[in-house]
Amino acid sequence: MSVVPYAFVACLVVGVVLRARYGSFRNLSRTILADGGHVRGDETEEREKKANLLRWVTTVDHKDIGLLYLVFGTVAALWGGVDSMMIRTELLTPAVDVWSEETYNALFTTHGLTMLFFFVTPVFFGMANYFLPLLIGADDLAFPRINAIAFWLLPPSLLLVRGGLITEVIARVLGLGLPRSMLEILYTLAPPATGWTLYTPLSTQLANPQIDFMLLGLHLSGLSTMMGAINFIVTIFMKRGPDVDIGDFDIFTWSMLTTSGIILFAFPLLGSAILMLLLDRNFGTSFYAVEAGGSILYQNLFWFFGHPEVYIIFLPATGLMSTILPKFSGRKLFGFKFVVYSTLAIGVMSFGVWAHHMFTTGMDPRLLTSFMIVSIAIAVPSAIKVFNWMTTMWKGDIRLTAPMLFSAGGLGLFVIGGITGVFLASIPIDVMYQDTYYVVGHFHMILMAIIPFQMFAASYYWFPIITERMYNQRLARLQAVLTSVGVFVTFMAFLIMGALGMPRRFASYPPKFQLFHDVASVGAFVIGFSVLLWLYNMLHSLWFGDLVRDADVWDLKKTQQFTREWQAFEARLAEKYGVTSTSPEETRAAAESQMVGDQKDEPDTGSPKAFEDLSGIGNDVVVGAVAGFVGMMLMSAVLYVGSLLGVFDLVSFAELAELVGVEGSPLVGYLIFLGGGMTTWALLFVTFADFLPGEPLLRTGLVFAVVMLPGFFVAFYSGQSGWELVGYILVAFVAHLAYGAGLATTFKMLSGRLKTSLVHVSE
């Protein structure tokens, strides 16, 4: 399987070279016109630059280097992806019978290193290289040659990190004809098996010289990343167009600026930590010896880099989400300023959470508590982003294109991954789940949901700008759904396994976990397959995709979101092909949503404005609470009858009281129950009533109550069986119908007097 990445590299290189050498196969495809029609022909010549190898290795053009970054990152992703497929293949059975333990250890090490250092950052740097100057009106990056050097440091650093595999493959191939004694030098290097964290003392004790090469490679990639970051910062501040002020920055620019700032402070720590490791291994220094700093020094230094690194790879993806999501929601990003503030807040706070990776190392609990608090608090800015994204979509003019499917799907999965992380920030829970699949499931769910998803989304969204062609949209939509399903299946299985105690980083495991591992493997294969679909779509569309001659591919002018990169694209088309700019007769501000029915033509309706809607929200709360109280009274009456019949046990309320630390008090439990029915459930009804089936509102209320029934049934079950159980089910069902009826009718009645935001009622 290790030849697969080389095949991919070969395909990509051949594809890029042929595309550059021969231009497009435009005779075979069609040109899209603004009116939706097509023409055939080869009326234009689009090849402007000489296409040869020398040009690609000497270019300092930001777009070219951006493309080089993207190709490199894709190759690295495929290589790291092959690692993960090999890992999942090994884990199909409990025994270690596909690869060896050593190979397995090397696989999860190189998978992590490749994905983090050579896939994610290069791809985002590639996108920033290509689009950031366009977005801020700059003609190139501030230091084009340094930009080129930064990129060309990456291939050798990747080879240094992964060279052990290459030498091993060469040795095995040569071993078919040569004796092993002649190949010993090639066998000396073996893929490192330290884990991507390179923890000491393991990394200082292993003799494998490949570890030294790996450290040098990581150092080199760090230098490359630093050069890129400095270049972006200087470009943003010094090279932006004269009409672009800080207040005009788009959200992707803010994200790249913050990311670059984090890089400046984080990567030197990685450089220092691995340099000392290199010295300990080769020159007899004792930085990490037990008598000196020990392994805890290494962990502190590493995670001071390591956790900000998480945000280095996360923030550009959030920038893309904030860029793409509004375009297909038909309105501008809700809460733009707060999304920017949250990005900056994450940039600062990311340096204050590193020790949550070390909760089990025996650090002073007072120190750990402070890290726990900051780790929980850092969820707030991410939540701000999530709520703003959701509000942007709320009642928007949603178009289910592939970029939108990736954004919406990623948003849902990101919430699951994020919330599982908030639990881990709590010290007692982290102690329980340390080094289990729960941790692996958490970070894979959150990273997959936001990073590759947004890369896919951006690759589709900007594909016409880069290639002047359109991709296969049906295949892309299918790929988006498949990826979402694959990620959910794989990493939910991880989370469940972890909760059951499955430790990470073991090639063998107890047979009781096999079902979960097999489910996870199937999910992983789905992800792998969908990645291949994406690759096929990109390469095929690069050559055979429909030609694009109208720059407004996504109808962005209608909502006044035809941003700078698209304007530049339009100018390019006009210059190359003489295509005149098309603008729709009617446009509306992106701040206004596409409303339906009578409200369609009202200029003041549209995007929710937080302050204007406050009164409606306040009324919702009041009316919902009163309606909830009425519903709860009806429900309580039914439950009381149930208790008289002996099928419902009032003592089960006592368990609710235990949640707030009161032992054995059904009364306190009932008051909590009552409060929940007046607040949480009532407000959920008010919020979601528009989206639940059923007309009129009474039927909606009944549907809502029945949806809640299973939760109640499990929570208040007290061991009934036989006819008692049947009676319990019936009482619970009737009680919920009573709650739903009381809630809905009261809400309907009061809404006539107090203005609420529920469309159901207003209609």
Partner 1 sequence: MNWSDAAAYALPFLGALVFCASIGGAVYGGYAAVQDDLGLCGVPAIAVTPPEDIDHNAPEGTVDPSWTQLDYEELNEAEKEAFEEAVGSVSGTGDVHGELEHEAAFSGGALVAYEGEEYYVAIETMDECASAAPWVLPAGVLGVLVGLGLFYSPRLARMLAHRSDR
Nearest distance from residue 10's CB to partner 1, in Å? 23
Of residues 494 and 673, the one with the C-beta less far from partner 1: 494
Of residues 92 and 146, the one with the C-beta less far from partner 1: 92
Nearest distance from residue 168's CB to partner 1, in Å? 11
Closest CA relative to residue 278, chosen from 210, 223, 196: 210
If one asks whether residue 100 binds partner 1 (CB under 8 A), the answer comes out as yes
Cβ distance 660 to 721 under 8 Å? no
Of residues 162 and 356, the one with the C-beta less far from partner 1: 162
Nearest distance from residue 165's CB to partner 1, in Å? 14
- Among 153-161, 185-193, 370-378, 572-580, the segment contacting partner 1 (CB under 8 A): 185-193
Per-residue CA distances from 421 to 72, 114, 321, 378, 414 (Å): 31, 23, 20, 11, 10
Is the C-alpha dihedral spanning 153, 162, 527, 120 positive or negative? negative
Of residues 17 and 398, the one with the C-beta less far from partner 1: 398
Query: Which are the contacts of 172, defined by CB distance < 8 A and separation ≥ 6?
Result: none
If one asks whether residue 486 binds partner 1 (CB under 8 A), the answer comes out as yes
Of residues 531 and 737, the one with the C-beta less far from partner 1: 531
Cβ distance 657 to 672 under 8 Å? yes
Region for residue 105 given its phi and psi (left: phi exceeds 0; alpha: psi -120 to 50; beta: otherwise): alpha
Phi, psi of 503 (to 5 degrees): -75, 155
Closest CA relative to residue 358, chosen from 443, 301, 293: 301
Of residues 150 and 538, the one with the C-beta less far from partner 1: 538
- Among 2-10, 523-531, 664-672, 731-739, the segment contacting partner 1 (CB under 8 A): 523-531
Per-residue CA distances from 465 to 134, 217, 333, 579, 595 (Å): 11, 34, 22, 15, 30
Q: Could you give the CA distance from residue 678 to residue 700 in angstroms, rounded to a whole number?
A: 17
Residue linked to tokens 């080769």 = 282
Query: Which one of residues 56, 387, 394, 529 is an interface residue with partner 1 (CB under 8 A)?
Result: 529
Q: Residue ranges of the alpha helices (H) in 599-665?
A: 614-645, 653-658
- 686: tokens are 């008010």
Q: What share of the chain is helix, strand, coil (3-state, %, to 5)?
A: 70, 0, 25
How many residues appear in the chain? 763
Query: Which one of residues 248, 518, 655, 690 is an interface residue with partner 1 (CB under 8 A)?
Result: 518
Q: Could you give the CA distance from residue 280 to residue 287 in angstroms, rounded to a whole number?
A: 7
Is the C-alpha dihedral spanning 255, 256, 257, 262 positive or negative? positive
If one asks whether residue 201 binds partner 1 (CB under 8 A), the answer comes out as yes
Query: Which one of residues 342, 521, 746, 757 is an interface residue with partner 1 (CB under 8 A)?
Result: 521
If one asks whether residue 485 binds partner 1 (CB under 8 A), the answer comes out as yes
- Among 29-37, 91-99, 414-422, 703-711, the segment contacting partner 1 (CB under 8 A): 91-99
Which own/partner contact pairs does 206-210 have at CB distance under 8 Å and 24+ positions apart? 208/164, 210/163, 210/164
- Among 60-68, 124-132, 357-365, 479-487, the segment contacting partner 1 (CB under 8 A): 479-487
Query: Which are the contacts of 755, defined by CB distance < 8 A and separation ≥ 6?
Result: 615, 616, 619
3-state secondary structure of 551: coil
Query: Which one of residues 20, 70, 78, 190 is an interface residue with partner 1 (CB under 8 A)?
Result: 190
Nearest distance from residue 520's CB to partner 1, in Å? 11
Query: Which one of residues 149, 482, 692, 729 is an interface residue with partner 1 (CB under 8 A)?
Result: 482
- Among 61-69, 87-95, 498-506, 662-670, the segment contacting partner 1 (CB under 8 A): 87-95
Of residues 27 and 181, the one with the C-beta less far from partner 1: 181
Q: Could you give the CA distance from residue 632 to residue 616 in angstroms, rounded to a whole number?
A: 24
Containing H/E element for 32? Answer: strand 30-32
Cβ distance 240 to 137 under 8 Å? yes
Query: Which are the contacts of 745, defined by CB distance < 8 A and separation ≥ 6?
Result: 697, 698, 701
Q: Could you give the CA distance from residue 593 to residue 130 in angstroms, rounded to a whole number?
A: 30
Query: Which one of residues 208, 235, 459, 619 is an interface residue with partner 1 (CB under 8 A)?
Result: 208
If one asks whether residue 166 binds partner 1 (CB under 8 A), the answer comes out as no
Of residues 91 and 386, the one with the C-beta less far from partner 1: 91
Phi, psi of 39 (to 5 degrees): -130, 155
Of residues 261 and 409, the one with the C-beta less far from partner 1: 409
Of residues 262 and 524, the one with the C-beta less far from partner 1: 524
Nearest distance from residue 406's CB to partner 1, in Å? 16
Q: Letter for the amino acid at 51?
A: A
Q: Letter for the amino acid at 329?
A: S
Query: Which one of residues 525, 629, 713, 717 is an interface residue with partner 1 (CB under 8 A)?
Result: 525
Nearest distance from residue 210's CB to partner 1, in Å? 10
Nearest distance from residue 112's CB to partner 1, in Å? 21
- Among 294-302, 338-346, 481-489, 572-580, the segment contacting partner 1 (CB under 8 A): 481-489
- Among 329-337, 514-522, 611-619, 728-736, the segment contacting partner 1 (CB under 8 A): 514-522
Query: Which one of residues 167, 194, 259, 530 is an interface residue with partner 1 (CB under 8 A)?
Result: 530
# residues near partner 1 by CB under 8 A: 34
| Max CA separation in the chain (angstroms) | 92
If one asks whether residue 522 binds partner 1 (CB under 8 A), the answer comes out as yes
If one asks whether residue 199 binds partner 1 (CB under 8 A), the answer comes out as no
If one asks whether residue 568 binds partner 1 (CB under 8 A), the answer comes out as no
Q: Residue ranges of the alpha helices (H) in 27-61?
A: 53-58
Nearest distance from residue 187's CB to partner 1, in Å? 8
Nearest distance from residue 624's CB to partner 1, in Å? 35
Query: Which one of residues 478, 671, 709, 749 is an interface residue with partner 1 (CB under 8 A)?
Result: 478
Cβ distance 31 to 38 under 8 Å? yes
Query: Which one of residues 115, 276, 526, 744 is an interface residue with partner 1 (CB under 8 A)?
Result: 526
If one asks whether residue 602 binds partner 1 (CB under 8 A), the answer comes out as no
- Among 72-80, 100-108, 570-578, 626-634, the segment contacting partner 1 (CB under 8 A): 100-108
Nearest distance from residue 93's CB to partner 1, in Å? 7
| Residues 72, 73, 79: CA angle, nearest 5 degrees | 90
- Among 13-21, 199-207, 226-234, 740-748, the segment contacting partner 1 (CB under 8 A): 199-207
If one asks whether residue 92 binds partner 1 (CB under 8 A), the answer comes out as yes
Query: Which are the contacts of 118, defined by CB distance < 8 A and separation ≥ 6?
Result: 72, 73, 76, 80, 154, 157, 158, 161, 221
Query: Which one of residues 89, 426, 514, 720 is an interface residue with partner 1 (CB under 8 A)?
Result: 89
- 393: tokens are 């979509």
Query: Which one of residues 23, 195, 209, 268 is an interface residue with partner 1 (CB under 8 A)?
Result: 209
If one asks whether residue 172 binds partner 1 (CB under 8 A), the answer comes out as no
Q: Could you give the CA distance from residue 550 to residue 469 in angstroms, rounded to a whole number?
A: 10
- 56: tokens are 């690609």
- CA torsion, points 650, 655, 658, 664, in degrees to nearest 10? 40
Sheet holding 547-548, edge to edge: 38-40, 30-32, 547-548
If one asks whether residue 95 binds partner 1 (CB under 8 A), the answer comes out as yes
Q: Could you give the CA distance from residue 345 to residue 364 in angstroms, rounded to a whole number?
A: 27
- Among 2-10, 125-133, 515-523, 579-587, the segment contacting partner 1 (CB under 8 A): 515-523
If one asks whether residue 163 binds partner 1 (CB under 8 A), the answer comes out as no
Of residues 342 and 521, the one with the C-beta less far from partner 1: 521
In the region spanning residues 9 to 68, those forming contacts with partner 1, defined by CB under 8 A, are: none
Q: Return residues touching partner 1 (CB under 8 A).
A: 89, 92-93, 95-98, 100-102, 184, 187-188, 190, 201, 205, 207-209, 474, 477-478, 481-482, 485-486, 518, 521-522, 525-526, 528-530
